């Protein structure tokens, strides 16, 4: 028997590798001889750098930049050895994990630091950029990235806008003429549009610090940004699938730079030959911090399940928390979903004990699987 463990990271808790290690420990506590292939994965956001280092010749390049709230930090990106290309994770500079919970504020948060990383890669010979945009702390439509590359965003008086999603309502003029030409592929992990009930602000704003008082202004800012993109380019971005990713970053980069929006999971699955590894396995265990109806919008467990269903392989999902509307997920190839919680606990307790909870849950799940196979 061969098991494939192919998890995502648990945001603000464990890397994908740490999740995979914990699950493997739980399985081996039941049967030390079982073959467990670990493939810590990513849907194009956090965790992609680790995966790329395992797959390709290249190097991590550490740059001086700023986080979403403007504090100086160091952040890495991956430079391929065999071509003039780099993979940059927005979360490394502009991610939630870089900001303390009580300091998160999408009204002020900016993607400028990620733009500095892209500039560094371009200045050092890159002609193609892959940008994974999961895990952002921002709602600025990517204006920070565009500003760092030479774009200008001004109000009706010609004054440059301050950074952050809260100032996009004042936008009156866009100038991107100074941005250099390069090929840009944006790896999206969701299919949400820019605006509305399924849009960037409504769905993802609260986890970034948006409140009922600030959400209307953030939504209005992205709507105004979308209007000015269309005035400049004659291209509507509001309803483009994935445009709402990373606080509208996908919309801004697609609309103003012509960035190609691609499934981060599908891109990395192809690079890693994931389908072939699934086909060679007897059981696939994947994991995600939270699974619910939103997981249909491009999340890793669903991508894994779709590939596994093609080869009639069983898929088990371990989740930090389980939400509503799971029935469609089962139809796509997920066979069972298990919460790692063993008793009532706070979010902070769950995050602190995630590795132990994953290990014990994997142990119980594998015992059940063995019993069912007898």
**Residue-wise pLDDT tens digits, 165-176:** 999 999 999 999
- pLDDT band (50, 70, 90) for residue 373: confident
Share of the chain above pLDDT 90, in %: 72
> According to the model, what pLDDT value does residue 290 have?
80
> According to the model, what pLDDT value does residue 102 have?
92
According to DSSP, the β-strands at 183-188 and 173-175 are unpaired
Domain 48-264: which CATH number of 3.40.50.740, 3.90.1510.10, 1.10.357.10, 3.60.21.10: 3.90.1510.10
Q: What is the mean pLDDT of residues 184-188?
A: 92
Domain assignments of the chain as residue spans, ordered by start: 2-41+273-373, 48-264
In the predicted structure, residue 372 carries a pLDDT above the cut 70? yes
Tens digit of pLDDT for each residue in 201-242? 999 999 999 999 999 999 999 999 999 999 999 999 998 999
Q: What is the mean pLDDT of residues 154-178?
A: 98
In the predicted structure, residue 178 carries a pLDDT above the cut 90? yes
Decide whether 2-41+273-373 matches 48-264 in CATH topology. no
Residues in the chain: 374
> According to the model, what pLDDT value does residue 294 have?
60
On the 0-12 / 13-18 / 19+ scale of CB atoms within 10 A, 72 is exposed
> According to the model, what pLDDT value does residue 32 have?
95
DSSP string, 293-328: GGGGTT-HHHHHHHHHHHTT--EEEEEEEE-S--HH
Half-sphere exposure of 241 (CA within 13 A, CB side): 9
> According to the model, what pLDDT value does residue 15 have?
87
> According to the model, what pLDDT value does residue 190 have?
80
The 10 Å CB-count burial string (b at 16+, else e) for 347-362 is eeebbebbbebbbbbb
H or E stretch covering 66: strand 58-66
SS3 343: coil
Q: What is the mean pLDDT of residues 259-287?
A: 92
CA angle 266, 272, 276 (to 5 degrees): 90
Tokens of 119: 């500039």
DSSP H helical segments within 155-281, as ranges? Answer: 215-233, 245-257, 264-272, 274-279
Instruction: Please state the separation of Cα 198 from the chain's center in Å.
Output: 17
Name the DSSP letter for residue 206: G
CA angle 330, 285, 9 (to 5 degrees): 100
Look up the CATH number of domain 2-41+273-373: 3.40.50.10350
Share of the chain above pLDDT 70, in %: 97
**β-sheet bridge partners, residue 64:** 74
On the 0-12 / 13-18 / 19+ scale of CB atoms within 10 A, 257 is buried
> According to the model, what pLDDT value does residue 12 have?
73
> According to the model, what pLDDT value does residue 295 have?
57
**β-sheet bridge partners, residue 85:** 128
Residues 6 or more apart whose CB falls under 8 angstroms from that of 223 comprise 195, 238
In the predicted structure, residue 154 carries a pLDDT above the cut 70? yes
Distance CA 133, CA 243 (A): 11
> According to the model, what pLDDT value does residue 297 have?
57
The whole-model pTM stands at: 0.78
Tens digit of pLDDT for each residue in 98-127? 999 999 999 999 999 999 999 999 999 999
Q: What is the mean pLDDT of residues 304-315?
A: 95
- pLDDT band (50, 70, 90) for residue 350: confident
Distance CA 300, CA 61 (A): 26
> According to the model, what pLDDT value does residue 271 have?
80
In the predicted structure, residue 95 carries a pLDDT above the cut 70? yes
């Amino acid at each position: 028997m061969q098991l494939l463990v192919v998890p995502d990271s648990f945001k603000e808790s464990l890397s994908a590798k740490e999740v995979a290690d914990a699950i493997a420990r739980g399985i081996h506590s039941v049967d030390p001889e079982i073959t467990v292939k670990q493939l810590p994965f990513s849907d194009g956001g956090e965790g992609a750098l680790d995966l790329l280092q395992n797959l390709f010749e290249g190097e991590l390049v550490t740059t001086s930049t700023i986080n979403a709230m403007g504090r100086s930090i160091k952040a890495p990106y991956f430079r391929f050895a065999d071509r003039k290309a780099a993979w940059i994770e927005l979360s490394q500079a502009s991610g939630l994990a870089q900001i303390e919970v009580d300091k998160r504020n999408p009204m002020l948060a900016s993607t400028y630091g990620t733009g500095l990383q892209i500039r560094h890669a371009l200045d050092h010979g890159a002609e193609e950029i892959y940008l994974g945009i999961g895990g952002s702390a921002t709602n600025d439509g990517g204006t920070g990235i565009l500003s760092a590359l030479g774009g200008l965003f001004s109000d009706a008086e010609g004054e440059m806008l301050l950074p952050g999603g809260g100032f996009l309502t004042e936008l009156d003029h866009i100038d991107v003429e100074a941005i250099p030409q390069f090929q840009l592929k944006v790896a999206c992990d969701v299919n949400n549009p820019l605006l509305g009930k399924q849009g960037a602000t409504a769905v993802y704003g609260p986890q970034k610090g948006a409140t009922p008082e600030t959400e209307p202004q953030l939504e209005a800012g992205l709507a105004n940004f979308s209007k000015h993109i269309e005035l400049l380019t004659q291209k509507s971005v509001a309803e483009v699938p994935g445009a709402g990713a990373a606080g509208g970053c996908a919309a801004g980069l697609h609309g103003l730079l012509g960035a190609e929006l691609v499934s981060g999971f599908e891109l990395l699955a192809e690079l890693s030959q994931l389908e072939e590894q699934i086909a060679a396995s007897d059981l696939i265990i994947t994991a995600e911090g939270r699974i619910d109806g939103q997981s249909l919008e491009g999340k890793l467990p669903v991508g894994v399940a779709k590939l596994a269903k093609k080869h009639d392989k069983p898929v088990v999902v371990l989740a930090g928390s389980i939400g509503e509307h799971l029935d469609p997920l089962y139809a796509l190839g997920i066979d069972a979903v298990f919460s790692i919680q063993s008793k009532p606990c706070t979010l902070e307790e769950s995050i602190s004990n995630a590795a132990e909870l994953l290990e014990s849950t994997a142990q119980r799940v594998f015992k059940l699987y063995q019993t069912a196979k007898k």
